[in-house]
Amino acid sequence: MNSLASDQVMTKNDKTVLGFWIYLMTDVILFATLFATYAVLRNNTFGGPSGKDLFNMPFVLTETLILLTSSFVCGLSVLAARRGSKNQAQMWLSLTFLLGMVFILMEISEFHRLIVDGNSWQRSGFLSAFFTLVGTHGAHITVGLIWLVVLRWQMFTKGFTDSTLRRLTLFSLFWHFLDVVWIFIFSIVYLMGVA
């Protein structure tokens, strides 16, 4: 009887993981569409500034390194959780949250600077595509931070159950996915934008 119950739980877990991968693939389609839109509109500056005029590359590089570090630290939290080290997992998740929050604050700062300088999403097709692509990524990071707070609370109150470990693994997939998307944003939007 226990074997049957175990098989049913495994099936439920498999369905959850499959469902999450399907969700990630829909996000791939969303971001691919936004990248395609950006590629079409990146030279449509309507006589305004281009990426070369607007992007502060040392700032963006710092932002990138912070997000990449958060992804590495997130991976350390999964490893700590699999070893059963609750305190280490919580510490690494706290650091992941802190780094993610710094990233979001830097992105908001960049958006604020652009808008104050008169370069909002309304100025040109290029800026509309830029704000939409980068802002959508930022919205995903914000959702990830909320998820992280809830996950940390569940791990604190329930400990390392199969459910919390699965949620941590799925969160880690989500966070790493956002890292990969940012690498494309950094390369296509920022690096090619200043070239």
Domain boundaries, the chain: 2-194
Contact 14, 166 (CB under 8 A): no
DSSP assignment, residue 123?
S
CA separation for the pair 100, 138 (Å, rounded): 10
pLDDT in tens, the chain (195 residues): 455 555 555 566 778 889 999 999 999 999 999 999 999 999 999 999 999 999 999 999 999 999 999 999 999 999 999 999 999 999 999 999 999 999 999 999 999 999 999 999 999 999 999 999 999 999 999 999 999 999 999 998 998 888 999 999 999 999 999 999 999 999 999 999 998
- 113: tokens are 């600077």
- What's the pLDDT score for residue 68? 98
Torsions phi, psi for 47 (to 5 deg) = 80, 0
- 172: tokens are 């880690």
- Count of CB atoms within 10 A of residue 145's CB? 17
**Taking the model in full, what pTM does it have?**
0.91
DSSP assignment, residue 117?
T
Q: Mark out the alpha helices in the chain (DSSP H runs).
A: 2-41, 51-54, 57-82, 86-116, 125-158, 162-184, 192-194
Reply yes or no on domain 2-194 having CATH 3.40.47.10.
Answer: no
Please, which residues have CB within 8 angstroms of residue 52's CB and are 6 or more apart in sequence? 193, 194, 195
CA separation for the pair 18, 79 (Å, rounded): 22
